[in-house]
Structure 1
Amino acid sequence: MPEVAAAHAEVREVLGVSADRAVFEPLTRRDGAGATVWRVTGGERSALLKVLSRTRETGVAWSASNDPRHRHFWRREAWLHRSGLVRVWQPYGVRAPRLLECVERPDGDVALWLEDVRGEPATAWSPARHADHAHRLGVAQGAVGAGEDAPWLSQRCLRDHTSDPAAGGALLDDEAWRHPLVREHVTPGLREDLVRLRHDRAWFLTVMESLPRAFSHLDHRPAHLAGDGAGASVLLDWSFAGDGALGEDLGTYLPECVLGLSLPAAGLPGLAKTAYDAYLHGLRTSGWRGDEHLVRLGVCASVVRYEGLAAALLTRTDAARADDGDPRPAAPRPGHRELSLVLAHVAEQAAEARILAPQLGFPQAPSGR
């Protein structure tokens, strides 16, 4: 394995054992910026090794970027850790894993050696624990605000995320919508609601980019969270971090609780209310005194990131699994019922955003005229 050879000196420095005594366990099929991740165990110690690469083939469906502001800028996470900016929320109960070593390799890759967090994964959290995390996030974002604008933090991340012009093609596939599994679970009018969201995409992005700003994780999901045993939330994978709208991280987090199989889809409406209330209370606790309706708009309008989720609903069967030749296990995926309920939540949030935005001085959405 080439990683073992490249990491020989690093393993001894981090774990205190020779590389031939270390076990490399691949953990993920892909990473947002084209990184690959292993758990490396040597004796009684372990660490996560995350190799950031601009040029090496990583198997992801997109290419890492050299643009420091782009969503997929490949070096961002290394600079976040080196600068200490990744710890900006730590005083408020949301922290990053500790950096153990950062190595610039001769081949141009960057090796991040990070704390192996062994606390309870958020995919196993109760709804109350998810709401507690939402409160911590509110305190952190309220206290830090937009934070420091380093030149390598992402900008317009949501726009990059929704930029695929082919993402709406599934909405036009009449045959796919007639599939028995789709017809069984899709609520009346959902297809029209998703077409409307696709049509209004530019309006939603303009609204999101005009809302109060907050330093944001921008890939905020239970799969990237764990407890640390001391009450704090440990947030992983900061490769997209940068400028976001207040409420955007929470708006991402809520559907991901179902998409990541942390929560049954039937529990999403209840969590959406309790987590939003907890987040808003956290903002107020931090001393934030802004207009809470703008926060609500940020949460609701952020669902534009899921306008391409219909493709997953229409192309998936409950037993289907990706087969891309990657030896690492694929994560379990939600079935048609869960996806349809998440999409119904997305449609409801989008409808609320269209009502709320004009009340706050924004133009009406095109489909609302």
Structure 2
Amino acid sequence: MRHHSPIGEPFRNEPLVHNTLNQATGGIWRVHGPDGTAIRKEAVRGTAGPPRWRTSDDPRHWNYWRREYLAYRDELPELLCGDSGLRPPRLLRIDEETDAATLWIEDVDGVPGFEWSVPRLGLFARQLGRAQARHVDAVPDRPWLSTGWLRQYTATMDFSESIDWDHPVAARTWSAELRGGLMELWRRQSTLHDRAATLPRTLCHLDVWPMNFVADGENTVLFDWAFVGDGALGEDIGNLIPDTVADGWVNAKLLPEIIETVTDAYLAGLADAGWHGDDGAVRTAIAVTGAAKYAWIAPMMLHRLATDAPVGSTNYDTRDDADQILAERVPMLELISSWARTALT
């Protein structure tokens, strides 16, 4: 079946940076046509490539390949965002086939997240708090929402082979104390997942990082709803804080300011929307889920060092200077190690 572009034809595809390992994404393009531009994203049933990134036909699975298409079709992003100041990109059209679905969405002309100031990150966190407060212990009933996403996702990061915590490159750049904390985090990650499962629940995006949002004036446009589902209150913030600096696009020296600004703003957003719970419990939840989410990152880098593979991100940080990358990761790793100590005491 031939589908026509909603911005007219002929058109030109401009490939966009994305996680090419995830088999649920067949590609993402900015499409240029005679009537303007749009973003085209293909969701596919993918069974090739790395096993940890293969898709599932289970609607509750962390990588269910049809979830984003269903979320847009059923207007779930609008339900989460409400009048918080967040919004999803405008849906132009969906083309559905047996083993694929193509989303055509608005190409937002705004400032991308990696170019934001720390106060602008704080505004987004406040908007997210306003949005999620309305769904605390009231996650919508959709059969395709992800459930247990955090545990499922991290279970795919299997580095069960021997990890050399004293690898010479790591020993040059990571202190013995830091390596010991990261080793303990890796060893006790199942305890963190058990704790995360007991936290108050809300509707979460579950992939909140600067690649997935754009400033539209004072509003924020939030993209990539492929993981959306049940999560802990504070879980999206536990991802946002470390992931803002994880790939070297934002200076990790800003991390202390990011932690304070984003956390306080999220709590203020919850209060804006009428939530009157325990701020301390939310701070703990951020620590628990953030540490659980990134327990694998140090072992992955050590594994890559041992196999002479690039230690950065496959798509977002492709530099080959292992010493520099490991040194730049120290503030983030110290954060998740400290979060783990908080969560495990």
| Alignment TM-score, normalising by the size of structure 1 | 0.83
User: Which of 292, 313, 317 does residue 332 from structure 1 map onto?
Assistant: 317
CA shift in 2, pair 1:321/1:295, >3 Å: closer
**Letter of the structure 2 residue corresponding to residue 272 of structure 1:** I
Give the Å deviation of 1:202: 1.6
Give the Å deviation of 1:179: 2.1
1:159-174 to structure 2, matched below 5 A, reads 159-164=151-156, 166-167=158-159, 169=161, 172-174=163-165
User: Which of 45, 67, 83 does residue 54 from structure 1 map onto?
Assistant: 45
1:310 corresponding residue in structure 2: 298
Q: Which runs of 4+ in 1 moved over 6 A?
A: 321-324
| CA distance in structure 2 between the aligned counterparts of 1:58 and 1:320, rounded to whole angstroms | 18
User: Which of 75, 85, 102 does residue 94 from structure 2 map onto?
Assistant: 102
| Native 8 Å contact 1:227 1:234 kept in 2 | yes
User: Which of 326, 341, 345 does residue 351 from structure 1 map onto?
Assistant: 341
Give the Å deviation of 1:192: 1.6
Give the Å deviation of 1:305: 1.1
CA shift in 2, pair 1:286/1:266, >3 Å: same
Deviations 1:269-297 (A, max 9, x none): 22101210111111111100112222111
| Larger mean Cα displacement after TM superposition, 157-166 or 31-40 | 31-40
| Native 8 Å contact 2:48 2:54 kept in 1 | no
Gaps of 5+ in 1: 1-5, 325-329, 356-369
| CA distance in structure 1 between the aligned counterparts of 2:305 and 2:164, rounded to whole angstroms | 14
Give the Å deviation of 1:354: 2.3
2:114 corresponding residue in structure 1: 123
CA shift in 2, pair 1:137/1:202, >3 Å: same
| CA distance in structure 1 between the aligned counterparts of 2:157 and 2:50, rounded to whole angstroms | 22
1:267 corresponding residue in structure 2: 254
1:207 corresponding residue in structure 2: 195
| Native 8 Å contact 2:125 2:263 kept in 1 | yes
Matched, 1:298 2:288: no
1:201-280 to structure 2, matched below 5 A, reads 201-228=189-216, 230-280=217-267
Matched, 1:10 2:4: yes
| CA distance in structure 2 between the aligned counterparts of 1:61 and 1:197, rounded to whole angstroms | 21
CA shift in 2, pair 1:323/1:133, >3 Å: closer
Deviations 1:12-62 (A, max 9, x none): xx1122xxx210122134275611211111125111111111157577852
CA shift in 2, pair 1:353/1:323, >3 Å: closer
Paired positions, count: 333
1:363 corresponding residue in structure 2: none
1:143 corresponding residue in structure 2: 134
2:322 corresponding residue in structure 1: none
**Letter of the structure 2 residue corresponding to residue 158 of structure 1:** L
CA shift in 2, pair 1:333/1:221, >3 Å: farther
Corresponding residue SS for 2:176: coil
| Native 8 Å contact 1:119 1:227 kept in 2 | yes
Corresponding residue SS for 2:60: coil
Corresponding residue SS for 1:92: coil
Deviations 1:115-145 (A, max 9, x none): 1122100011111111111111111111233
**Letter of the structure 2 residue corresponding to residue 136 of structure 1:** Q
| CA distance in structure 2 between the aligned counterparts of 1:322 and 1:271, rounded to whole angstroms | 22
Corresponding residue SS for 1:219: coil
RMSD of aligned alpha carbons: 2.5
Matched, 1:179 2:168: yes
Deviations 1:176-209 (A, max 9, x none): x3324x2232123122212211222121111111
CA shift in 2, pair 1:60/1:127, >3 Å: farther
| CA distance in structure 1 between the aligned counterparts of 2:133 and 2:260, rounded to whole angstroms | 19
Q: Which protein has the larger Cα radius of gyration, Structure 1 or Structure 2? A: 1
CA shift in 2, pair 1:203/1:162, >3 Å: same
Deviations 1:141-196 (A, max 9, x none): 112334312110000000011113733546x315xx3324x223212312221221
Gaps of 5+ in 2: 320-324
CA shift in 2, pair 1:59/1:40, >3 Å: farther
**Letter of the structure 2 residue corresponding to residue 205 of structure 1:** H
1:78 corresponding residue in structure 2: 69
Corresponding residue SS for 2:95: strand
| Alignment TM-score, normalising by the size of structure 2 | 0.89
**Letter of the structure 1 residue corresponding to residue 206 of structure 2:** L
CA shift in 2, pair 1:165/1:308, >3 Å: closer
CA shift in 2, pair 1:53/1:165, >3 Å: closer
